[in-house]
Structure 1
C-alpha cells in the first residue's frame, strides 16, 4: 500500500484520537480505530509480528522486515497514541473530577454514533449475528457494573493488568482504562506516568505487548472466518458500554484512601431529572451532539482513505 507523508500524518491524528479515548475510563480507542477505517489493518499488522517476520529480517534484511511489518503505519499510529495517551491522561483526570457530566456527555454521543457506524458494516443479519450482538452487549454491560479492586503496586500484577487492559483497548466498546480501574491498576499507572517511574512503565508496556501480540491473532482469525458475527459482537460491546459513559450517576459505594480522599467504587445510572446536583442538561445535550458529529467526521475521513 503506497502512502504519502500526509497519509501518515492523518494516521498519527487517528492515533491521537485513539490515545485520548483510551485515557478516559469507559471509552475505547478500538472504537476510534474502527470508525476511522484502520481497525482491520491495525489488527492484521500487529498479528504479523511473529517468527516469520524475524526470519525475513535475517534472510532479506531490514527493508523487507519493515515492509512485512507495515512499520510505517504502526510507527505513525503508535506515535499518536503514546503522545496523546500520556498527555491526555492528566487532562482526562481533571475533566472527570471537575466536569464529569460534560465530558461523559461528549463521549456518550461519540459512542452512540459508533454503534450505528460499526453496526452498519454488518453485511448480513441472521440468528447468529443477533445472538452475538446480544452477548456482546451483555458482556460489556456486566463489565461496567463491576466494582473496582483496591490498588496494587506489584510489578507482576501490573504486568498482567497491562496484558488484559491492552486487549480491551483494541476491542471497540471495551475501555482499557476502565479495565485498569476494575483491576486496581489505573492509579498505579497514572502515578507512574506522572512521576516518570520507568520501571513500572516498562513492566506495564511489557505486559501490554504480550497481550497485544497474543490477542491480535485471535481477532484476525475471527474477522477472517466470522466477519459478520465478529462485527455484531463488537457492536454489542459498544452498545453495552453506554452504561459506563451515561453522564448522570449515583454513587452507591465509596473508597477512602489513607489521605481521606474518597473515590467512587460502584455507581448506577440515573435520570438527569433525578440527579441531586445541577444536571447541566442543555450543555450535556450539546456535547452529545458534538460527540456524535466527531464520529461522523472520523467515519467520513476513514471511508475516503479506504
Structure 2
C-alpha cells in the first residue's frame, strides 16, 4: 500500500462529501443537513442502486461510487459501533437518540434504503422478465454502463504508480476469478449461512461484485430465497446476523482505507468493477449452445445463436454509458451545492 496521501482536491466525477475525511481518523461524523431536494436525489440514487443489485453480477456499490455517495455511505455505516451507546448516555433521552441519529447520518441512510426498497418492489419483476426473456438487451445495457464507469473512475486516478497499477490488476483479477467460479450445490448449514451472509453483504457494498451472485456461488441463494418465501425465521435471522456482522467489520475497514489511502483504494475498486465485465458480457450461451441468461459461458458476438444484433446491442450499450455519465455529472453537481 502506498504511503498516506495528503488531502485530495475535489474530484470532478466522484465528488466527495462536504465534511473532511482525510485529516482525521473519522471516529466521528460531523453533522450534515440535506435539503428536501437533496434527500429526494439520495432516494433516486437509492433506486438506481436497487435496480443494479437486482441483476446478478452488477453491484449497487458501483452505482453509489459513480453517483458520488459511496464515501458518505461507507462513513455512515462505519460510524455504527459500540461508541453509539456512549453518545446516547452523554445526552440521554430524546437528545441522546437525536445525537445517535446524526452520528450515523441516519436520514441519508433512510432515504437510500427507501430508494433501494422501492426498486426491489417495483423493478424486480420487470428486470427479472427481461433477464428471462430478453437477456441480450439487459446485459448490453449494463455492459455499457459498467464500461463507462471504468473509464470515468480511471480518470480520477491522479497519478499512476506501480503500487496503484498492481492494486488495479489485483482487483481486476480477483473479480474475474470470482465471476468464473463454479456454483456450489451443497446443502448449507446455519453456520455456513451466517458466513455466506457476511460475505454477500461485503460484496453488495464493494463495487463490481454482486452480493446475489456471491450467494449463488456459495450455494445459498435458493435456500435464502426459499426461507424468505416460507418465513423460515431460523435461516432468515442467521443470514441477517451474518450480514450485520460483515457490514460492521467490512465498512469500518473500508472507511479507514478511504480516509487514508483514497487513490490506492480507488484503483483497487476500479479493478473490481473492470473485472466484473466478464459477468455482464451480453453474449452468453449454455454448454449446449442454447440461449441462457444465467449461463457463465461467454461467446463472441458472431457466435451467438441468433446473431450479434449489432444495432440493438451497441445502442443499448451507448444508452447505459450515457445514463451513467449523467448520473456522475448529477452526483458531482449535487455535491457542489
Q: Which residue of 274, 282, 300 corresponds with 1:239?
A: 274
Partner Cα separation in structure 2 for residue 12 and residue 221 of structure 1: 26
Report the more deviating stretch, 216-225 or 40-49: 216-225
Report the Cα distance in structure 1 between the residues aligned to 2:184 and 2:286, rounded to whole angstroms: 16
Across the two proteins, how many residue pairs are aligned to each other? 299
The structure carrying a bigger strand percent of its residues is 1
**Is 2:173 the counterpart of 1:138?**
yes
Distance 1:145 1:15 in 2: 28
| Aligned mates of 2:165, 2:334 — CA distance in 1 | 30
- Structure 2 residue runs of 5 or longer lacking an equivalent are 1-31
- Output the CA distance in 2 between the equivalents of 1:165 and 1:51: 23
What root-mean-square deviation, in Å, do the aligned CA atoms of Structure 1 and Structure 2 show?
2.2
* In 1: Cα distance, 2:109 partner to 2:60 partner: 15
2:224 counterpart of 1:189: yes
For the 8 Å contact 2:167–2:268, the answer to whether it is kept is: yes
The 8 Å contact of residues 159 and 203 in structure 1, kept in 2 or not, is answered as: yes
The CA deviation at 1:121 is: 1.8
Instruction: Tell me by how many angstroms 1:7 deviates.
Output: 1.2
Unaligned stretches of 5+ residues in structure 1: 255-261
Partner of 1:29: 60
Instruction: Give me the TM-score of the superposition, normalised by structure 1.
Output: 0.90
Partner Cα separation in structure 1 for residue 137 and residue 148 of structure 2 = 17
Quick check: 1:146–1:266 contact (8 Å CA) kept in 2? no
User: What SS does the aligned partner of 1:252 have?
Assistant: coil
Q: Tell me the residue number matched to 2:215.
A: 180
Task: Specify the alignment match of 1:208 in structure 2.
Answer: 243
Structure number with the higher helix fraction is: 1
2:300 is matched with which residue? 271
Residue 316 (structure 2) pairs with residue 287 (structure 1):
yes
**What is the TM-score of this pair, normalised by structure 2?**
0.82
In structure 2, distance between residues paired with 1:56 and 1:175: 34
2-structure distance, mates of 1:83, 1:97: 21
1:167 alignment counterpart: 202
**Structure 2 counterpart SS, 1:79:** helix
Aligned mates of 1:14, 1:182 — CA distance in 2: 28
The superposition leaves residues 242-278 of structure 1 with CA deviations (integer Å, 9 ceiling, x where unpaired) of 0110011232389xxxxxxx98886222111011234
Q: Does 1:69 align with 2:104?
A: yes
Listed as ranges, the matches of 1:56-95 within 5 Å are 56-60=87-91, 61-95=96-130
Structure 2: how far apart are the matches of 1:56 and 1:62? 9
From 216, 234, 257, the equivalent of 1:222 is: 257
Alignment of 1:41 onto 2:72:
yes
> Match for residue 258 of structure 1?
none
- Alignment correspondent of 2:48: 17
**1:216–1:205 distance in 2 versus 1, CA, 3 Å:** same
Aligned partners of 1:89 and 1:190 also within 8 Å: no
